Amino acid sequence: MARSETAYHIDFDDWVRLAKTDPARFEDLRDRVLDYCITRAPTDRQERLRRLQWRINQVRNTASNPLSACISISNMMWSSFSHLDEAYDDLQHCRRPPFRRCARILPFPEQPRSKA
């Protein structure tokens, strides 16, 4: 895949190697890629994405090790997903009219039967 100045190609093995050999450069490149992705998002979502990234960075900074950070960030994701599922369920219940188990039967006048 060709690399360009405006797009980042992320090869997992290259990033692992960079994180092990030059952690400062890895963090700098990571920050630049994240900033690039956020600035490409719709303008009305960028602030929320920046705040989310700040929260993720704080989890990473305060975790005792990378695995602990990964688990905490994963839990954040699942919690957010759970809230989204609850909101979806709430919307589904709001959209449905309440189910009525009874109905009033309307009388119709009897019609004479035609003779054939």
Per-residue model confidence (pLDDT) at position 82: 84
How buried is 19 (Cβ within 10 angstroms: 0-12 exposed, 13-18 middle, 19+ buried)? middle
pLDDT score of 9: 79
Q: Give the distance, in angstroms, between the CA of residue 74 and the centroid of all CA atoms in the same chain.
A: 12
Give me the pLDDT at residue 95, please: 64
**What is the pTM (predicted TM-score) of this model?**
0.63
- pLDDT on residue 29: 93
Per-residue pLDDT of the chain (116 residues; tens, 9 = 90+): 344 444 677 789 999 999 999 999 999 999 999 999 999 999 999 999 999 999 999 999 999 999 999 999 999 999 988 888 787 877 777 766 666 667 778 888 888 777 76
CA 54 → CA 50, 98, 111, 113, distances in Å?
6, 43, 76, 79
Which of 53, 22, 56 is CA-nearest to residue 36?
53
